[in-house]
Amino acid sequence: MAEFKARVYVTLRPSVLDPAGVAVQAGIHHLGYTNVHSVRIGKLVELTLEAEDRTTAAHQLAAIADQLLANPVIETFHIDLDDVATPSAL
């Protein structure tokens, strides 16, 4: 078994309104940075998992993201998967 570190980025689909993003953009403009626009807020989920190999880990992560982390009706996700050195004791 190898250990993998993964980051799942969950973002709203472009067609979905993002009131939180609009509010943050207003805050940024209030700070004086009126050159900032198109602010969108997403989620970032960092996790560690053990799997036989990279392919298994990627499949499991896609299933987890699809079933639990993202709402596929309004959100999409992207997964970054990094290998972690397996402890020599295993």
11 binding a second copy? (CB under 8 A): yes
Which residues, at least 6 apart from 77, have a Cβ–Cβ distance to it below 8 Å? 8, 9, 10, 11, 65, 66, 69, 70
Per DSSP, the three-state class of 54 is helix
- Residue choice 19, 46, 55, 90 for contact with a second copy (CB under 8 A): 46
Number of residues that bind a second copy (CB under 8 A): 33
Query: Both tokens of residue 55?
Result: 């392919």
- Residue choice 15, 17, 19, 35 for contact with a second copy (CB under 8 A): 35
Give the shortest CB-19-to-a second copy separation in angstroms: 14
Per DSSP, the three-state class of 29 is helix
Give the shortest CB-60-to-a second copy separation in angstroms: 6
Which residues form the interface with a second copy (CB under 8 A)? 9-11, 21, 24-25, 27-28, 31, 33, 35-51, 60, 63-64, 67-69
